[in-house]
């Protein structure tokens, strides 16, 4: 298991799709926009704490909040890091197919996800010492889909000890994206969208984050030869969710674009929150993770591989 794990991490480092992380000078929350516990897959979290973190047996309490599955369900618990510490572990618990800690004797404490065959996003927050910074990255290897990737966690750059800033990602306001997709004979393309905003109230209540964004194609899509095809289609994302290009096209547009690929200038907008028990969660923007699975007919070296990256905001 150890040898296989080392090989997969080397492969992940060699074939990465990296994602930028904001700088921070205070205790902070990290957002990891995608993980999977698909059978045979490993999502590997690597965390570290800086030299202002607490040492000794108490260390820093780090709060994990998993948001998983199609209903984006909340699941949380605490782990532990210490000064200049390194904690590396599978997202999945061993009973759910994970390998546990990369070094079994590591005195740090992970908080594992207990379910196999699931997916979602994760926030990790320092809760103990003011100014104690955590940073980290996620590596994912999924043999069933050919996905080998890694990315840096996104820091909110806010003080999270003694404040209301845990899970506050309202600084992410991206709502315009160029969604490009190859022809269906080349790749199968989908996106996993995480709705951003201040998740603090939901996290502290142990409630599901229900911030929402509506994506629209702005009334037009373009085929691979830049011909515009009119028609409006929308896709709602509550907390997080997956979609394809077809979700932002009506059936006539899908037929007109055909199997040659195209371009959609997609724009998100805030969905008025549903108020439950006096609480409604307002979104600020979106993080879109693009997944492209290459069809077998493409041939070597791309066939059977899957690529993942974060879509950049586009001022179209």
Break the chain into its structural domains and give their ranges.
2-155, 176-310
Average pLDDT, the chain: 91
% of the chain residues with pLDDT over 70? 91
pLDDT per residue over 122-155, tens digit each?
Answer: 999 999 999 999 999 999 999 999 999 999 999 9
Per-residue model confidence (pLDDT) at position 179: 98
Per-residue model confidence (pLDDT) at position 274: 76
Per-residue model confidence (pLDDT) at position 25: 56
Between the alpha carbon of residue 92 and those of residues 83, 168, 253, 275, the distances in Å are 25, 25, 41, 33
Please list the helix, strand and coil fractions of the chain in percent, rounded to the nearest 5, in that order.
10, 45, 45
CA dihedral angle for residue 98, residue 101, residue 104, residue 109, rounded to 10 degrees: -130
pLDDT at 104 over 50: yes
Strand partners of residue 124: 30, 64
pLDDT per residue over 109-122, tens digit each?
Answer: 999 999 999 999 99
Per-residue model confidence (pLDDT) at position 12: 43
pTM score, whole prediction: 0.90
Per-residue model confidence (pLDDT) at position 227: 97
Per-residue model confidence (pLDDT) at position 26: 77
CA distance 195 to 22: 18
pLDDT at 184 over 70: yes
CA atoms within 13 A on the CB side of 299: 0
Per-residue model confidence (pLDDT) at position 5: 41
pLDDT per residue over 20-79, tens digit each?
Answer: 344 445 799 999 999 999 999 999 999 999 998 988 888 999 999 999 999 999 999 999
pLDDT per residue over 288-302, tens digit each?
Answer: 999 999 999 999 999
pLDDT per residue over 170-183, tens digit each?
Answer: 999 999 999 999 99
CA distance 23 to 65: 21
- Residues 96-103, mean pLDDT to the nearest whole number: 97
Q: Minimum mean pLDDT among 12-16, 146-150, 188-192: which range?
A: 12-16
18 or 108, higher pLDDT: 108
């Amino acid at each position: 298991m150890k040898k296989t794990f080392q090989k997969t991490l080397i492969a992940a480092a060699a074939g990465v799709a990296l994602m930028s992380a904001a700088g921070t000078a205070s205790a902070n929350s990290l957002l990891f926009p995608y993980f999977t516990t698909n059978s045979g897959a490993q999502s590997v979290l690597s965390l570290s704490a800086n030299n202002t973190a607490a040492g000794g047996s108490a260390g820093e309490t780090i709060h994990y909040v998993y948001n998983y599955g199609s209903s984006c369900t909340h699941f949380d618990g605490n782990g532990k890091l210490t000064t200049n510490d390194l904690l590396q572990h599978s997202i999945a618990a061993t009973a759910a197919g994970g390998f546990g800690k990369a070094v079994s004797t590591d005195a740090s404490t992970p908080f594992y996800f207990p379910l196999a065959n699931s997916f979602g996003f994760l926030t990790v927050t320092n809760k103990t010492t003011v100014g104690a910074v955590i940073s980290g990255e996620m590596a994912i290897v999924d043999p069933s889909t050919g996905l080998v990737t890694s990315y840096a966690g996104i820091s909110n750059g806010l003080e999270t000890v003694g404040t209301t800033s845990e899970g506050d990602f309202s600084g992410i306001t991206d709502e315009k994206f160029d969604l490009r997709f190859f022809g269906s004979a080349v790749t199968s393309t989908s996106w996993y969208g995480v709705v951003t905003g201040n998740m603090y109230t939901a996290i502290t209540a142990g409630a599901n984050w229900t911030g929402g964004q509506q994506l629209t194609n702005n009334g037009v899509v373009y085929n691979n030869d830049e011909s515009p095809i009119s028609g409006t289609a929308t896709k709602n994302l509550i907390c997080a969710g997956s979609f394809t290009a077809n979700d932002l096209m009506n059936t006539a547009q899908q037929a007109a674009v055909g199997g040659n690929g195209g371009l959609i200038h997609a724009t998100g907008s805030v969905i008025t929150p549903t108020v439950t028990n006096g609480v409604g969660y307002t979104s600020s923007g979106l993080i879109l993770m693009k997944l492209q699975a290459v069809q077998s007919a493409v041939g070597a070296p791309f066939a059977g591989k899957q690529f993942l990256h974060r879509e950049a905001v586009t001022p179209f």
